[in-house]
Chains A and B, each alone.
Chain A
Amino acid sequence: MSKHFFGDTGVLLGRSLRHITRSPDTIITTAIMPIAMMLMFVYVFGGAINIGSGTSYVNYMLPGILLITVASGIAYTAYRLFMDMQGGIFERFQSMPTARSSVLWAHVLTSLVANLVSLVVVMLVALLMGFRSSAGILAWLSVAGILILFTLALTWIAVIPGLSAKTMEGASAFSYPLIFLPFLSSAFVPTDTMPTVLRVFADNQPVTSIVNAVRALFAEQPVGNDIWIALGWCVGILVVAYAFAMNAYRRKIS
């Protein structure tokens, strides 16, 4: 690792963050879809969905909405990276006496910051819509930790098309199935009402355990095994995506 790694990453992070503050629409666009879904689910379908008594529907579905927020946010991560590749500025940076991997890490950290801002925006709207939690600081920190890990895992997935896509559409299309995944989970309806095949899939895919863990943390319920399964999925996806992204990266710079 170059001795300039941290300094260079900081400079490049400043650059990408400036991109975001100059086009804040990327944050708004990221937040608007999950907010619209939240409004629709709470005020249109919510009354018809039976989640059992004890919690409001906003409380029930917020964890899934937060994951959707991240899934739609990382489309911009891929987009920003893709634009750097296209514009040749990536090559300019790579031909300079700059720590080479800083270019990638700056994008990853930017993705983290942008997604956290979107998450806060969505969270504030949820509060206006009646989301309440009396969870303690430790539970909130755990939720933040899970969301950060989830964002990093999805960010490294986004790096792959960002580096290797041929078109702009290709660079962001990968996020659609990720946005869709929460619908086939316990995010909006309990899985036990689903047909068997679907239920088996829903019970065993990453979103369900992450949603259940976050939901339990917010509701001050015991998190049980879900949190370990959730962490396992996040770390697993992170490691695999990182390996593939680094492979794509190495192909680009040699």
Chain B
Amino acid sequence: MTTQQAPAIQVHGLEKAYKDLRVLRGVDFEVARGSIFALLGSNGAGKTTAVKILSTLLKPDAGTARVNGFDVATQAADVRESISLTGQFAAVDEILSGRENLVLVARLRHLRNPGRIADDLLARFSLTDAGGRKVATYSGGMRRRLDIAMSLIGDPPVIFLDEPTTGLDPQARIEVWQAVKELAANGTTVLLTTQYLDEAEQLADRIAILHEGRILVNGTLDELKRLLPPAKVEYVEKQPTLEDVFLSLVGTKA
């Protein structure tokens, strides 16, 4: 593409308070099309609040936000056509089967061939065998995979993932990371929130840290690393991390 495209997400001076609790106090950031943007922050920093505003579930007290070029306040319906949200807690229908959940979302997005879309996604997220089972019988990881699969239906250009890997085992985490990387490779813009620094390191093109209602820093991993004094050069034997040990014992498929 030769022309400079507008950013997929533009947030300016966003403010939100719950009664006296001022959660967002002027948040600004932009996310380039087709990139992965990680919003880091400790518990209660306001990550979920920001994601809810961007996905039209909450109205901001002040400031503006545009998603895929549409204003979240005045063009909410267009925003909803452009996005999908994977909330912090898996939002799946426990009583329906995995396949029925996918078909339901495909129907609600008014797509043709909901059955085929469902089968494709079941295969892609290794859920084909469990597809006919009630979701109530799924493990936490399967539920999360189904949840993310539901968000991919209709190929929306912008996807919000609120702590997508919290509660997943390392193997499932890597599977989710893989799916996120594929999305971005195909041009989808991904905004994810996380508390895991390594997740941001692994995935994100840009990382922003939300702290006390504002974006404290915003940059690439290298830019953030340069904020600290350069590391001393030390020679140490590389010890395997616990994650390496776990993965080699359990055996990843990858």
Chain A contact residues, CB within 8 Å of chain B: 2, 4, 7-8, 11-12, 15, 18-19, 22-23, 87-89, 91-98, 253-254
Binds A, one of B24-32, B51-59, B197-205, B218-226: B51-59
Which of B83, B94, B107, B109 neighbours the largest number of chain A CB atoms within 10 Å of its CB? Answer: B107
Per the bound structure, the CA–CA distance linking A123 and B92 in Å amounts to 37
**Residue B105 is within 8 A (CB to CB) of chain A in the complex:** yes
Q: Besides A11-B108, A87-B91, A97-B109, 17 other CB < 8 A contacts?
A: A4-B110, A12-B108, A15-B96, A18-B96, A87-B89, A87-B94, A89-B92, A91-B52, A91-B57, A91-B91, A92-B105, A92-B150, A93-B108, A95-B55, A95-B83, A96-B105, A254-B59
Instruction: Please give the distance in Å from A55's CB to the nearest CB on chain B.
Output: 43
Judge whether B91 and A94 touch: CB under 8 Å: no
Q: Which of B52, B58, B59, B77 contacts A97 (CB 8 A)?
A: B77
Instruction: Please give the distance in Å from A2's CB to the nearest CB on chain B.
Output: 8
Judge whether A88 and B96 touch: CB under 8 Å: no
Instruction: Please give the distance in Å from B248's CB to the nearest CB on chain A.
Output: 35
Instruction: Please give the distance in Å from B180's CB to the nearest CB on chain A.
Output: 19
Chain B contact residues, CB within 8 Å of chain A: 52, 55-59, 77, 80-81, 83-85, 87, 89-96, 100, 104-105, 107-110, 150
Per the bound structure, the CA–CA distance linking A122 and B56 in Å amounts to 44
Judge whether B87 and A91 touch: CB under 8 Å: yes
Grouping DSSP codes into helix (H, G, I), strand (E, B) and loop, the A interface class, with mixed when no group exceeds half, is helix
Taking CB atoms, residues of chain A closer than 8 Å to B58 are: 254
Judge whether A96 and B109 touch: CB under 8 Å: yes
User: In the complex, which residue of chain A has the Cβ closest to the Cβ of B78?
Assistant: A97
Judge whether B104 and A15 touch: CB under 8 Å: yes
Judge whether B93 and A15 touch: CB under 8 Å: yes
Per the bound structure, the CA–CA distance linking A88 and B55 in Å amounts to 14
User: In the complex, which residue of chain B has the Cβ closest to the Cβ of A254?
Assistant: B59
Instruction: Please give the distance in Å from B239's CB to the nearest CB on chain A.
Output: 40
Judge whether A96 and B95 touch: CB under 8 Å: no
Q: Given the known inter-chain contacts A18-B96, A91-B57, A254-B59, please indicate yes or no for A96 contacting B91, CB distance below 8 A.
A: no
Per the bound structure, the CA–CA distance linking A107 and B93 in Å amounts to 15
Instruction: Please give the distance in Å from B204's CB to the nearest CB on chain A.
Output: 22
Judge whether B85 and A91 touch: CB under 8 Å: yes
Judge whether B83 and A11 touch: CB under 8 Å: no
Judge whether A92 and B85 touch: CB under 8 Å: yes
Per the bound structure, the CA–CA distance linking A253 and B55 in Å amounts to 11
Judge whether A96 and B56 touch: CB under 8 Å: no
Per the bound structure, the CA–CA distance linking A23 and B94 in Å amounts to 12
Per the bound structure, the CA–CA distance linking A92 and B148 in Å amounts to 12
Taking CB atoms, residues of chain A closer than 8 Å to B94 are: 87
Judge whether A7 and B110 touch: CB under 8 Å: yes
Judge whether A253 and B57 touch: CB under 8 Å: yes
Judge whether B110 and A95 touch: CB under 8 Å: no
Instruction: Please give the distance in Å from A173's CB to the nearest CB on chain B.
Output: 23
Judge whether A23 and B95 touch: CB under 8 Å: yes
Instruction: Please give the distance in Å from A17's CB to the nearest CB on chain B.
Output: 11
Taking CB atoms, residues of chain A closer than 8 Å to B108 are: 8, 11-12, 93, 96, 98
Which of A7, A19, A89, A93 neighbours the largest number of chain B CB atoms within 10 Å of its CB? Answer: A89
Chosen A-B contacts, 19 in total, with CB atoms closer than 8 Å, are A2-B77, A4-B110, A7-B110, A18-B96, A18-B100, A87-B92, A88-B87, A88-B91, A91-B52, A91-B85, A92-B85, A92-B91, A95-B84, A95-B85, A96-B84, A96-B105, A97-B80, A98-B109, A254-B58
Which of A7, A11, A253 neighbours the largest number of chain B CB atoms within 10 Å of its CB? Answer: A11
Taking CB atoms, residues of chain A closer than 8 Å to B107 are: 11
Judge whether A95 and B57 touch: CB under 8 Å: yes
Judge whether B85 and A89 touch: CB under 8 Å: no
Taking CB atoms, residues of chain B closer than 8 Å to A4 are: 110
Q: Given the known inter-chain contacts A4-B110, A11-B107, A88-B87, please indicate yes or no for A94 contacting B93, CB distance below 8 A.
A: no
Judge whether B109 and A92 touch: CB under 8 Å: no
